[in-house]
Amino acid sequence: MPKIVLDHVTKRFDKFVAVDDLSLVIEDRDFITLLGPSGCGKTTTLRMIAGLETPTEGRITIGDTVVFDSSSGVDISPAKRNIGFLFQNYALWPHMTVYDNIAFGLENLKWSSSDIDKRVREMLQMLKIEQFEKRYPSELSGGQQQRVAIARTLAPSPKVLFMDEPLSNLDAKLRLEMRSELKRLHVDTDSTFVYVTHDQMEAMALATKICLMEKGKLQQYAPPLEVYDYPANLFVADFVGNPTMNFLPVDAKRVSGNTYSFSMLGKDLLFKGNCAIEEDSFKAVVGIRPEFIKLGEGQFSGVVYTTLPSGMETTVKIKCGDDMVTAVVFGSVDYSHSLDMNFSVSGNGILLFSKESGKMLSTGTIEMMS
Amino acid sequence: MSGSNKKSHLLNNIRSAASKPANVITVLFFVILLFTVCFPLLSLLRDAFTVHFGEIRDIGKPVGAFTFYHWQTLLFDNLYDYSVLTFWKPLVNSVLMAIVSCIVAVGFGGAVAWFITRSDIPGKKFLSTIFVFPYIMPSWSIAMFWENFFKNTQIVACYNQMGMLESFTGICVPEWVLYGFFPCAMCLGIHYAPFAYLLIGGILRNMDANLEEAATVLKASRFKILRRITLPIVTPALISTILLVFSSSLSSYTVPAFLNKNGSFSTISTTMRSLFNTAAMQGQGFVVAIVLLVFSIIILSINNKMTGKRKSFTTISGKSGQVSLVKLGKARMPITIVIMVISVFFAIVPLVSFALESLLEVPGDYSTLSLYYWTTTDTLENRVFGSSQGILRNPTIWKALGNSLLVSFMVALISGTAGILIGYASARKRGSRLARWVSNMAFFPYLIPAMSFGAVYLSVSYLPAFSFLHGTVFLLIIVGGIKFLPFASKSGANAMMQVSGEIEEAAFIIGVPWWKRMAKILFPIQKASFISGYLLPFISCMRELSLFVLLAAPGSIITVVLQDFEVNGLTQISNGINFLIIMIVLLVQFITNKLTGASIDKGIGG
């Protein structure tokens, strides 16, 4: 069963470094999402594993086979890596019918025509596109084309499936639908999925593990909830979560043990950390998820700036001195703007970052200094 | 790392690079083009500075010795005004001719383009179809038609034959209307007007109508919109057209060759031809070829400089379907009639005139219609090479026609296929330096005037190692294959760029071999463009004379035979042959278009 190992992989285009010294282990039957802003190197990484792009340096192993090694010059053709690849714009062959699109790859593996027919019918049925068999891609809607592309990719039963933003061309409703089908497909096909997306919601919902990249560098590689609750650094904390985390710069001083004092939002506070921190006094950033801010009562006070109801939940922005704080309230509320508002910060999930390095130092709680 | 390790590493890298067809194609064509484009150019340069066999007596040095004699004589020899008469005056003539033909082409073609895309002129489809006719016909067709129309019994140089105008109205035009500067410039202008129409019309058609509508909303007048919005946006195409027409006219050989029977008007190309025909002056011929080449390269680099950055103006948004057309009002009918008459006169009437002229036993006397010049077995003229019997009975003509078809077919095969492969490699290896070199080298023959390109290969065929090529059909195939490569590789590259790389990768991943990806995926998707890449070289080659005139043996290809009959006054036969060529070209184009949807106007204007 294939396990994919990337060992110090680097890709340079002239002087531009697309992927910088990336090491990664993808376990068998994982559903990995490569997540990051556009241009972060995630698609390049995927294409390098698939063999469509040649790394400048490093070593890639799929299962027991070294498929690429810059030091010994091994570079196995994608055709021999036993993989499937789902392209962003589907890349369906416009001059072939749906049936031919799915069958073409199998013909190429020298399957007998009865086997091919059986497999194609199976795929058509599995993806519920039997009625389109004789149509050409241009006669199908986006969602139907997507299904054909998936059927074509799955037909030869690849052990590893690579997907490059496969849902980004679909409308919002269809995207949600296909998301759940892909997750189901992962279970049904029993294979390893590697999935590129810039949509953090999609990554959270689908993946068993998220690989977050920025500027070609790996930022964090962990299960979705861990990435959400314990972001490795400011970039990850900022990128994941919607609405985004509140960041408040402070000057932190050690009081005792893991307890630090600073003033924030006009109040003097204590931060009780869960982990040991080295520095006694440093410039820090406090990160608070919007859901940890409770409106109505509390020590902090501000003025409502805007209210953005979306039905199930409402995002409220509150101006507090020179700072702006975002909170999320469950249900629909509509505060009139300029309303005075008190709020509290609760929970054990408050984050403390070093401003200098951007690293997350500890989770903890915030209390008023007595 | 040990030595053997390093070696196997290198071997592995080479093997890995060689497994990618785009790499192999790039390297292969780099080598081929080095030999077929760069090496001949060096040979041309060498020939302009060395002594040739016929020049030994004049120069007093052995064959192959280095000399400045050719340059000195041609450019600065004042004895009997030699250099003025053989070089400077023809050069000035050519430049003036090119300027006037530019004005005619851009003025006429541009105006028609504007009327067709931006006004409510009726019959647009018909007009746009027939308007490109003169460009599909051989380049001398308009010249030949001009002669058919204006020749008269008062002019000795046309053997006192009666033309259409005299026959119908009795009017005899003076000689300067028939031969010399004026008709040459006019005919070139009319020949290139469709080219201007296609370039400018393309821009106007693709221009986002919102740009003009935005100005309308801001209450700008029609005229102001044309002056401040439309013209500036079309400017790059306009400059491009002017420069390309200028450079083509400057080096045009066929038109001045056909309309200079009284010998009063020599251009740089006709001079080059006669220098090459004189054994003691070949070196000077090579000098002229280099001068022409330098001219073209300068003009085209100006073109690239001026249009390169500004091309971004030509925004294609796809939403420009809703153009509000200019209402011509009262002027509609008169304008329509003028444009229609002119277009039909130069598109349809020439065809009729070629057919008719070939059927007149006595030129201009329409009571003498007969098939004599098509069917006679009499020998009509001793000065022409080979047989001079009637067209249908003439073995020389049929053999030459067969050769022309063979050459054109082979040229189409070579340049079309090479074009697809180069297009593929440059699309897949975008950004690679070697691939850029290859596509630039493949485009380079476009910069070289046809006759200079002929001269380049003439000089190669003089080399002892390549003398077996001299005067052979094989040489013509090579020359044509290279000269028409730019069109084919441009259309190949465009076609490949339109297909996203993923379409091919989707097949690559499931292990489809390269040739099968080409044959089963890429070719079927871009069938029309690829076939255009074959069609255009075929048609261009079938009607090409300037490129082959220095290289082809007498009687070898049909255009050379045609010229032979024309200059020896057997105009019935030359007209008949021209009619045949045009019919073949139109027929091939029509059949291909019906079968595959490929069409020549997709490739024209490149």
Give tens-digit pLDDT for B525-550.
888 888 888 888 898 899 888 889 88
Q: Which residues pair with A343 in a beta bridge?
A: A295
pLDDT value at position B324?
A: 63
Q: Which of B119, B139, B407 is nearest to B248 (CA)?
A: B139
Identity of the residue numbered A170: L
Q: Is the pTM of this model over 0.80?
A: no
A315 shares its domain with A343: yes
- Please judge whether B505 and A52 are an interchain contact, meaning their C-beta atoms are less than 8 angstroms apart: yes
pLDDT value at position B209?
A: 67
A300: how many CB neighbours lie within 10 A of its CB? Answer: 21
- Please judge whether A79 and B508 are an interchain contact, meaning their C-beta atoms are less than 8 angstroms apart: yes
Residues of A in contact with B505 (CB under 8 A): 52, 78, 85, 87, 91
- Cβ-based burial of A210 (10 A; exposed 0-12, middle 13-18, buried ≥19): buried
Q: Which of A115, A47, A43 is nearest to B509 (CA)?
A: A47
A252 DSSP assignment: E
Rounded CA-CA distance A97/A137 in Å is 7
Q: Which residues pair with A16 in a beta bridge?
A: A13
Q: pLDDT for A226-276, tens place per residue? A: 999 999 999 999 999 888 999 999 999 998 888 999 988 888 899 998 988
A291 shares its domain with A348: yes
A69 shares its domain with A133: yes
Chain B: give the shortest CA distance to residue A259, in Å: 53
Q: pLDDT for B347-403, tens place per residue? A: 888 888 899 888 888 877 778 888 888 888 887 777 778 777 888 888 889 999 999
A57 shares its domain with A34: yes
A257 shares its domain with A214: no
* pLDDT < 70 stretches in chain A: 1, 370
Domain with residue A83: its CATH number is: 3.40.50.300
A220 shares its domain with A251: no
Q: Which of A318, A314, A315 is nearest to A304 (CA)?
A: A318
To test the contact with chain B by mutation, choose from A85, A145, A169 the residue with the greatest count of B C-beta atoms within 10 A, namely A85
> Which of A212, A238, A264 delimits the end of a domain?
A238
Q: CB of B58 within 8 A of CB of B70?
A: no
A230 shares its domain with A352: no
Domain with residue A298: its CATH number is: 2.40.50.140
B→A contacts (Cβ < 8 Å), by residue, are: 8-13, 15-16, 19, 431, 500, 502-503, 505-512, 516, 520-521, 524-525
Residue A209's H or E segment, with its range, is: strand A209-214
Chain B: give the shortest CA distance to residue A164, in Å: 11
pLDDT value at position B296?
A: 83
- Please judge whether B511 and A109 are an interchain contact, meaning their C-beta atoms are less than 8 angstroms apart: yes
Structure tokens at A334: 């509509």
pLDDT value at position A7?
A: 92
Give the DSSP per-residue string, A273-286: ESS----SEEEEEE
State the total domains in chain A. Answer: 2
Given a cut of 90, whether residue B300 has pLDDT beyond it is no
A20 shares its domain with A74: yes
pLDDT value at position B311?
A: 45
A150 shares its domain with A284: no
Rounded CA-CA distance A225/A216 in Å is 23
The answer to whether the complex's ipTM is over 0.95 is no
Rounded CA-CA distance B480/B453 in Å is 10
- Please judge whether A85 and B511 are an interchain contact, meaning their C-beta atoms are less than 8 angstroms apart: no
Phi, psi of B361 (to 5 degrees): -70, -40
pLDDT value at position B603?
A: 41
Please give the order of strands across the beta sheet that includes A340-345: A323-330, A313-320, A293-309, A340-345
Q: Identify the residue whose tokens are 């002594």.
A: B51
- Cα B573 to Cα A203, B106, B260: the distances in Å are 78, 34, 19
A290 shares its domain with A145: no
Whether the bond into B183 is cis, omega within 30 of 0: no
Dihedral sign, Cα of residue A275, residue A24, residue A247, residue A346 = negative
A188: how many CB neighbours lie within 10 A of its CB? Answer: 11
Dihedral sign, Cα of residue A207, residue A210, residue A214, residue A215 = negative
Count each helix (H run) and each strand (E run) in chain B, helices first.
33, 0
Residues of B in contact with A91 (CB under 8 A): 500, 502-503, 505-506
Q: What angle do CA B117, B121, B126 make, to 5 degrees?
A: 80
A200 shares its domain with A260: no
Residue A325: which domain range? Answer: 245-368
- Please judge whether B525 and A87 are an interchain contact, meaning their C-beta atoms are less than 8 angstroms apart: no
pLDDT value at position A218?
A: 93
Q: pLDDT for B141-166, tens place per residue? A: 899 899 889 988 888 887 788 888 88
Given a cut of 50, whether residue B313 has pLDDT beyond it is no
Identity of the residue numbered A265: L
The count of CB pairs under 8 A between chains A and B is 76
Query: What are the residues whose beta carbons fall under 8 Å from the beta carbon of B545, sequence distance 6 or more?
Result: B138, B139, B140, B253, B254, B559, B560, B562, B563
Query: What are the residues whose beta carbons fall under 8 Å from the beta carbon of B587, sequence distance 6 or more?
Result: none
A233 shares its domain with A304: no
Q: Identify the residue whose tokens are 């027929």.
A: B587
